[in-house]
């Protein structure tokens, strides 16, 4: 279920990884009873509510609700995708990730290697070409920052890179796969020529592509690597690796349009900037950004194209605006970009501009109220028609409710003296509400025990398997019991990772965070009680169903009697009559 990586490997990997050790490398942990505690790396707090359980191999924060296995921790902390997190953990454990037969080949290391060598080459060339270094100086970049961003130079000519990396079919094929060549009538030639080169790193810091800025006015001003096995524009952000280096959470992340902006802002101390790579902001981008910070400021040109780009960003952001996340929009005056802005205004002024940027709600409602005649009923009805569908893409929660209310208010009343709609204020993240609201029904309690301690499956008797029970949620109960009987020695983390793609997994994750008191013996008792209560619930349902049958024949009467007897037994069991 874990994609193309065999389940058995995920199990082995988590079996060899000690989550306490892994997390300790990033967050100092203190022992507290059976668990370890720390101030949460995923939200601001003064008293620790982040706990790590060696038994479950699982972490959970009671403050913000963050939770998961060692794999989940790396995904969350370093912003890695699932496969990358698995590879990273495997590297630490000295294991190689096997691939299931028939799965798409992972790009081999030689591809990363050749891009790395290209990167070295371009940087050497920058040192050898004063005109390129001068150009950067002219743009106001220091040598230090150029070095930090590994900025290089692709000299004029058709085959500099090809020649330097060694001609030959193999190298050429690799360079082609890496998107570094163009094809002409008489063969391949260097794609990037006479350009300042910006290497693009993936979230693990490996070079996967380049962006090149023209120094002369021929050809496109910016040229990016094409999509390759390694590089997918819609999923990468320039500068993200550097911005996140060594930090789990940033307070804020700034999304700008070009890599020059990222570099220039970094020179002024803004280390939290990223740029999309010649594409509109996608949903993947928005997700990446929110994994790194709770607040994002989209910084766009104030012209028509900039506003259009901002609207696309807003549409990609709405479905990801969970509790505690917020987005703002900063539109720059005509003819300005972040680079020129920070130079003319200075860092302090630019920070102020970021802090007072338009909240998403304001941008959203202004966009629509400008499109309709707010003075007429028809216009206001149109407003509702236009604004509701995008609002419906938002996750349920306080913020969405407030946006809906604002829309209703706008539809009902004409805006007084044409004032802008008041921005909707975001509330602070609520405490793990979902978990708190989960009522401890017998079924959920039984599932929680099993997820937290799969070996409890030994207490499941034939009758408590409730094979024919069709109550809501029972499929998962049956499936989980079946799974645990096959893997009684799994940890919570292993189980959840193997169930990662199962539709019920998020529910099980929540149940894994429930605190279940007592030692193992007491927990076993509680688990059995939960199963007994569940069976009782089912027995009552069956009795109820039988009572509804008008013409009861003798078989049904007999069955009813049996059930009533069983009910009696179950009640007694719960009252503590066994042993
Ligand atoms: Zn937290």
Output the CA 412–ligand 1 centroid distance in Å. Answer: 40
In the reported structure, the alpha carbon of residue 399 is separated from the centroid of ligand 1 by a whole-number distance in angstroms of: 20
Q: What angle do CA 111, 114, 119 make, to 5 degrees?
A: 125
Q: Biggest alpha carbon distance in the chain?
A: 101
Q: Report the separation in Å between the CA atom of 64 and the middle of ligand 1, taken as the mean of its atom positions.
A: 4
Residue 252 alpha carbon to ligand 1 centre in Å: 17
* Cα 205 to ligand 1 centre (Å): 26
Q: Measured in angstroms, how far is the CA atom of residue 38 from the centroid of ligand 1?
A: 10
The Cα-based distances of 152 to 260, 261, 522 in angstroms read 13, 17, 65
For each successive 10 residues of the chain (579 residues), what is the average pLDDT? Answer: 74 92 91 91 88 93 88 88 89 83 63 95 95 91 94 93 86 92 88 95 91 83 90 91 80 92 94 90 90 92 88 94 88 89 93 94 92 88 92 87 90 56 45 52 93 93 90 92 94 92 87 85 92 91 76 73 85 71
Q: How far is the CA of 291 from the centre of ligand 1 (A)?
A: 13
Q: Give distance in angstroms: CA of 61 to centre of ligand 1.
A: 5
Instruction: Round to whole Å and give the CA distance between 513 and 434.
Output: 11
Residue 159 CA to ligand 1 center (angstroms) comes to 52
For residue 24, the CA-to-ligand 1 centroid distance in Å is 16
pLDDT of residue 515: 83
pLDDT score at 93? 87
Question: What is the predicted pLDDT for the residue at 577?
Answer: 54
Strands 250-256 and 293-301: parallel
Dihedral through CA 247, CA 248, CA 252, CA 258, nearest 10? 70
Residue 1 CA, ligand 1 centroid: distance in Å: 28
Per-residue pLDDT at 33: 87
Q: How much distance in Å is there from the Cα of 23 to the middle of ligand 1?
A: 14
The b/e string for 292-305 (b: 16+ C-beta within 10 A; e otherwise) is: bbbbbbbbbbeeee
Model pLDDT, residue 549: 67
Q: Minimal CA–CA distance to 340: which of 351, 355, 350, 353?
A: 350
**CA gap 176, 183 in Å, rounded:** 9
Q: How far is the CA of 340 from the centre of ligand 1 (A)?
A: 38
* 321 CA distance to ligand 1 middle (Å): 17
**Token pair in block for residue 242:** 């550097």
Write out the two tokens for 546: 């039988």
CA of 93 to the centre of ligand 1 (A): 27
Q: In the numeric block, which tokens belong to residue 82?
A: 């699932």
Å from CA of 46 to ligand 1 middle: 11
Centre of ligand 1 to C-alpha 514, Å, is 15
Residue listed under structure tokens 């338009």: 358
pLDDT, position 386: 93
Ligand 1 centroid, distance to 73 Cα (angstroms): 12
Find the 60 Cα to ligand 1 centroid distance in Å.
8
3-class DSSP state for residue 296? strand
- Rounded to the nearest whole angstrom, what is the distance from the C-alpha of residue 44 to the centroid of ligand 1? 7
Helices marked H in 25-129 — which ranges? 70-78, 82-93, 109-128
For residue 135, CA distances in Å to 148, 198, 264, 453 come to 17, 14, 14, 63
What is the Å distance from ligand 1's center to 318 Cα? 23
Angstrom distance (rounded) from CA 64 to CA 114: 42
Q: How many A from CA of 86 to the centre of ligand 1?
A: 23
Confidence at residue 433, expressed as pLDDT on a 0 to 100 scale: 43
CA of 513 to the centre of ligand 1 (A): 13
* pLDDT tens string 269-313: 999 999 998 888 998 899 889 888 889 999 998 888 889 999 999
Q: What gap in Å lies between CA 194 and CA 132, rounded to an integer? A: 9
User: Rounded to the nearest whole angstrom, what is the distance from the C-alpha of residue 323 to the centroid of ligand 1?
Assistant: 13
Residues 6+ apart with CB under 8 A from 36: 20, 23, 29, 30, 51, 52, 53, 54
Q: How far is the CA of 288 from the centre of ligand 1 (A)?
A: 18
User: Residue 268 is encoded by which pair of tokens?
Assistant: 């002024």
Quick check: 284 and 305 in contact, CB under 8 A? no
- Tell me, in angstroms, the distance from the centre of ligand 1 to residue 74's CA: 15
Length of the chain: 579
SS3 122: helix
d(CA 339, CA 260): 7
The H or E element spanning position 267 is helix 259-267
Interval between CA 433 and ligand 1 midpoint (Å): 13
Ligand 1: distance of its center to the CA of 426 in Å?
18
Q: Are 199 and 191 in contact (CB under 8 A)?
A: no
What is the CA(37)–ligand 1 centre distance, in A? Answer: 11
Half-sphere exposure of 233 (CA within 13 A, CB side): 14
Q: Classify residue 95 by its DSSP letter.
A: -
Three-class DSSP labels, 174-239 = HHHHCCCEEEECCEEEECCCCEEEEEEECCCCCEEEEEEEECCCCCCCEEECCCCCCCCHHHCCEC
Per the CB < 8 A criterion, the answer to whether 224 and 259 are in contact is no
77 CA → ligand 1 middle, Å: 12
Coil, helix or strand at residue 30 = strand
């Amino acid at each position: 279920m874990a994609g193309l990586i065999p389940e058995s490997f995920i199990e082995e990997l988590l079996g060899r990884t000690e989550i306490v050790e892994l997390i300790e490398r990033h967050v100092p942990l203190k022992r507290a009873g059976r668990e370890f505690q720390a101030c949460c790396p995923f939200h601001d707090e003064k008293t620790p509510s982040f706990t790590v359980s060696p038994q479950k191999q699982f972490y959970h924060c009671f403050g913000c609700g963050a939770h998961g296995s060692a794999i989940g921790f790396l995904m969350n902390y370093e912003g890695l995708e699932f496969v990358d997190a698995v590879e990273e953990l495997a590297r630490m454990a000295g294991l190689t990730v096997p691939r299931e037969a028939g799965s798409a080949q992972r790009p081999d290391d030689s591809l990363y290697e050749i891009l790395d060598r290209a990167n070295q080459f371009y940087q050497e060339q920058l040192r050898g070409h004063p005109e390129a270094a001068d150009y950067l100086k002219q743009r106001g970049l220091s040598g230090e920052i150029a070095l930090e961003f590994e900025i290089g130079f692709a000299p004029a000519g058709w085959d500099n890179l090809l020649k330097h990396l060694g001609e030959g079919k193999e190298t050429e094929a690799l360079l082609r796969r890496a998107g570094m060549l163009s094809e002409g009538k008489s063969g391949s030639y260097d794609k990037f020529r006479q350009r300042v080169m910006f290497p693009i790193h993936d979230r693990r810091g490996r070079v996967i592509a380049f962006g090149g800025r023209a120094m002369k006015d021929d050809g496109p001003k910016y040229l990016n690597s094409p999509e390759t096995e390694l590089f997918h524009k819609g999923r990468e952000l320039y500068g993200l690796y550097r911005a996140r280096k060594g930090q789990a959470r940033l307070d804020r992340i700034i999304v700008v349009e070009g890599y020059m902006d990222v570099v220039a802002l970094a020179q002024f101390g803004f280390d939290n900037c990223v740029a999309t790579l010649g594409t509109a902001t996608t949903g993947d981008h928005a997700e990446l950004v929110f994994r790194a910070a709770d607040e994002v400021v989209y910084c766009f040109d104030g012209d028509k194209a900039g506003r259009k780009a901002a609207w696309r960003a807003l549409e990609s952001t709405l479905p990801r605006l969970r509790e505690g996340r917020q987005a703002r929009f900063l539109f720059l005056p005509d003819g300005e970009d972040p680079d020129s802005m920070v130079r003319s205004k200075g860092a302090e002024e630019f920070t102020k501009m970021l802090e007072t940027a338009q909240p998403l709600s304001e941008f959203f409602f202004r966009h629509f109220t400008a499109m309709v005649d707010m003075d007429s009923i028809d216009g206001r009805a149109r407003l509702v028609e236009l604004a509701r569908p995008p609002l419906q893409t938002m996750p349920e929660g306080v913020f969405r409710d407030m946006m809906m209310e604002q829309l209703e208010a706008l539809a009902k009343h004409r805006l007084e003296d044409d004032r802008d709609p008041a921005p909707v204020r975001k509330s602070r993240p609520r405490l793990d509400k979902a978990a708190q609201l989960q009522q401890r029904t017998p079924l959920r309690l039984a599932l929680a025990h099993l997820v937290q301690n799969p070996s409890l499956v030994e207490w499941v008797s034939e009758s408590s398997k409730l094979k024919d029970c069709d109550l809501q949620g029972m499929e998962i109960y049956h499936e989980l019991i079946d799974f645990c009987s096959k893997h009684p020695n799994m940890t919570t983390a292993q189980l959840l990772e193997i169930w990662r793609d199962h539709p019920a997994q998020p529910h099980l994750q929540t149940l894994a965070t429930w605190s279940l008191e007592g030692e193992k013996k007491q927990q076993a008792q509680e688990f059995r009680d939960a199963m007994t209560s569940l069976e009782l619930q089912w027995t009552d349902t069956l009795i109820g169903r039988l009572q509804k049958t008008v013409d009861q024949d003798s078989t049904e009467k007999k069955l009813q009697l049996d059930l009533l007897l069983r009910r009696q037994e179950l009640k007694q069991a719960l009252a503590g009559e066994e042993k």
